[in-house]
Structure 1
């Protein structure tokens, strides 16, 4: 049995439930995972975040009662990486240790490493409490996810160890999804990251479209960057590297050393459990210099496949979903992450959608139409709260 943990575990459960018994611990308990798991436990608080005390208590109870062989995680541990160390005392972890993650998710160590490796990134201040002007600068926070920690205007103070200032640059926001094994680095492909100006964030994460095709020159630059960071941070398993592409230049933004939202796009295209590959990477781990690791694409003909778009639907008001609404969401073929909770505040994720077509323009149109369908359904069946 594999124990999967995170804010939402639907993507992890969907990936591995056909080959393993799965127990899930998350915040939402989505309706579309309940028939795929041996059990589920809530580890969330009223703000739909992982509650540290509840997590540790429930984790130990599940390990004691169900005896899973190992655990792995999705997002939700940002700023709470100490929980990983505590959980590793009880159960084998298919993921990086807290120490390794902290090197990646602390801006000082991460951007110092990029400088040393001659990897381009937007101009960044991580050790100053003031910048001369907030114009053209973003304050970011590695202890958040989804763009929640990004602020643009009237900001001149750093608040926590995860905060840093970064010069805003214009370009296409992209990500590369890859797996590090003991003998090779497997590139699954590239996605376009979709953001909107929403909920006081200039870059609020909405979803992904992929795979997207890049020039040979850009691709070669990215592969060189990946080899450098794999060696520098001793990466293993699944990773997502976010970057901005300006013409033919690549500027690294951040690295997420865990399964990211791109996983379900490439799983859908390749009909392969990528999470199982992630787990096997840790089962079979051996020390091997990165220079000896072969870097390859999982599928060279990935662009012969369809293009997939995903999008998270957030609540734009304080609402109470009724059972009829939840059932209708379940009936929509493009809808996933169907909630098992009914109360939502502004900015809370309600569900997500996935569409597929032969070109990016059509995918964007399908995403827009699906979003309108869900918005209309919620408006007709839902009670708005004050």
Structure 2
């Protein structure tokens, strides 16, 4: 039986590497087609000016294998259904995505189950203009396009934006697998780092797995059960939440593999894509080892490096590592091709690290972040020599 799988999204490197470790043969489509994706499998890059519309046409030219999606394809449920007409979908169809991504439907379902639900509103009338409410887009990803409501901003546009009460506390993400039997299995929890120069609420990175109090873990399991029971979610999905007063307050649901999946894979040796495929009746046992060679009980952290200014990756750069078949945690990931231009605030690459504690992961990642921001500045200012090859990894 063929083990080819098509993976589509804005950035699919992490899930494609998971597929390779499990013995699948991924074909990838995303916005970047970075070096470590191209080096590992067949990869196709979509021009940002044609994204996401071009995904349908490009996918139709590729082998008629099952397909799955990563972020932020959940913002385009019609596209999901169109691609699914042509090939089996290992993921949630458009109808389920529309319902679970509706903040009002989500809040109603949680309240009916006596679970914490953050207040949401379709308009700003009568709401305090003191930053205690946030204006958010219905279609969003990575914490982009979120702003405090301060009374000066225009009211949200019906069907495009909404308001959500701001809950302050540590940000986390719970990863689940929804099974074909309609149950949900909690895989693990990560701590999220939020906020960078160009997006105060934007996703910056994750560390995990982290322990949460038993009552919070029980509550997260109940949330997972509601999402599979009420909305029909299957396969990998994530719940972003804020921890406050001993309760996990769900912020949003991502009905597909999330950024935290990679962290949990490396920290535990779990094979994400195998569980995901099983949820859709793939009945394919792993032919690869599927695991990652990180010591048990280790914490793994990842941090996205955003460009501090406009620049260009030197043509002479030669990246090292990035081979998912090695089973070794790479220090760098999402590596741009030599000669790639980047804009201020654009994600350039990802840092990964394993350490004995979450605090150690954070400290060491920040140290490396400072070094990489300095390097990106030198690339932007033209100081990096490009006449000789420079190896980084």
TM over 0.5: yes
* Pairs within 5 Å for 1:348-367: 348-367=346-365
CA contact (8 A) 2:103 2:120 kept: no
Larger displacement relative to structure 2 (324-333 or 181-190): 324-333
Question: Are 1:312 and 2:304 an aligned pair?
Answer: yes
The 4+ residue runs of structure 1 with deviation greater than 4 A are: 328-333
Provide the residue aligned with 1:181 in structure 2: 179
* Aligned-residue CA RMSD (Å): 2.4
**Residue among 304, 313, 323 paired with 2:315:** 323
**Residue among 7, 13, 38 paired with 1:10:** 13
Q: How many Å separate the matches in 1 of 2:202 and 2:57? A: 32
Q: How many Å separate the matches in 2 of 1:280 and 1:330? A: 27
TM-score, normalised via structure 2 length: 0.85
Q: Give the CA deviation at 1:68.
A: 3.7
**Residue among 213, 222, 226 paired with 2:220:** 222
Secondary structure of the residue that 1:32 maps to in structure 2? Answer: helix
Secondary structure of the residue that 1:322 maps to in structure 2? Answer: coil
Q: How many Å separate the matches in 2 of 1:13 and 1:134? A: 44
The number of aligned residues is 358
Provide the residue aligned with 1:293 in structure 2: none
Q: Give the CA deviation at 1:112.
A: 2.6
**Residue among 93, 105, 114 paired with 2:110:** 114
Deviations 1:8-58 (A, max 9, x none): 111111101141221111110010011221x22122314xxx613321221
Q: Give the CA deviation at 1:222.
A: 1.8
Secondary structure of the residue that 1:33 maps to in structure 2? Answer: helix
CA contact (8 A) 1:334 1:354 kept: yes
Provide the residue aligned with 1:299 in structure 2: none
Give the direction of change, closer, same or farther, for the CA distance of 1:68–1:21 in structure 2 (3 Å limit): farther
Q: How many Å separate the matches in 2 of 1:323 and 1:197? A: 28
Give the direction of change, closer, same or farther, for the CA distance of 1:304–1:24 in structure 2 (3 Å limit): closer
**Residue among 94, 97, 101 paired with 2:97:** 101
- Structure 1: runs of 5 or more not aligned: 286-301
- Structure 2: runs of 5 or more not aligned: 284-293, 324-328, 383-393
Deviations 1:339-364 (A, max 9, x none): 12611112211010111111122111
**Residue among 266, 269, 272 paired with 1:271:** 269
Question: Are 1:167 and 2:165 an aligned pair?
Answer: yes
Provide the residue aligned with 1:336 in structure 2: 333
CA contact (8 A) 2:332 2:350 kept: yes
Question: Are 1:205 and 2:228 an aligned pair?
Answer: no
Question: Are 1:72 and 2:30 an aligned pair?
Answer: no
Provide the residue aligned with 1:33 in structure 2: 37
